[in-house]
Structure 1
């Protein structure tokens, strides 16, 4: 049976059988010990990386740079469950005074992945409201 849970340190653990994957906003550690990071952070991933954890399918994407660059989004597809989505550092508590060009587009793409709630960033409505605040700053209305 597969499980997805948020750990005390904020990372997300995907467990199926005796395999474990650990997701953080900037790196993912696969069950075989491989660490995946976006190329802007010294890794080799350009856009998408996928793996299986037992019967669970995990897809990690770089949708565009957020506040720091190299932010990763994770979608977990488990048999009999709606997809679980983690947006990591792509969504923040505060919107800064300036917004990198690709950040609003990356959040917009992420919204399309969310069914109801994310594992780490709130509901789809919360993310849509955040996106509107980002756009407001980006267009100079924030």
Structure 2
């Protein structure tokens, strides 16, 4: 039986029926030790990577553009059950409570694309962040760039 858990350090573990992975803001580590990271962080992924964890648990990881540090990843998880399909989205290090002095022009674009992943009311991870929070971040980023 699959599950998703959040740890205190921000890592998100996804357990399917056959295998599992752990997502952090800049890499994904599979149960067999394989690591997935964006090529700007030394990995092989340029835009999207996906896997089936078994038992109708599916994961997609994407690099939507650079955020505050570059190479940030986002993840969507889908579980297709008999009665309903559930989805979770995490935007990792694209999220920030406070903005740095300099905002890269690619950051609000990446957040805008991440908002597109939130259509259809998926659960947002970490649970402390809502879609409204991400929309407010997007507006703050645009304000920092364009005044």
Normalised by the shorter chain, which TM-score bucket? over 0.9
SS in 2 for 1:14: strand
Does the aligned pair in 2 maintain the 1:12–1:22 contact within 8 Å? yes
Do 1:116 and 1:123's aligned partners in 2 also have CA atoms closer than 8 Å? Answer: no
TM-score (normalizing by structure 1): 0.93
Alignment of 1:20-39 (within 5 A): 20-39=20-39
- Kindly indicate whether the alpha-carbon contact (under 8 Å) linking 1:116 and 1:124 is maintained by their aligned counterparts in 2: no
User: Could you give the per-residue CA deviations for residues 85-136 of structure 1, whole angstroms, max 9, x where no partner exists?
Assistant: 0110001110122211110000000001112541126111110001000000
Runs of 4+ in 1 over 3 A off after TM superposition: none
Root mean square deviation, CA, Å: 1.3
Consecutive unaligned residues of structure 1, counting only runs of 5 or more, are none
Deviation track 1:28-60 (CA, whole Å, cap 9, x = no partner) reads 012332100000001110000011111211000
Q: Where do residues 94-105 of structure 1 align in structure 2 (5 Å cutoff)?
A: 94-105=98-109
Show structure 2 runs of 5+ residues with no match. Answer: none
TM-score by length of 2: 0.90
Q: How many residues align?
A: 140
2:87 aligned with 1:83: yes
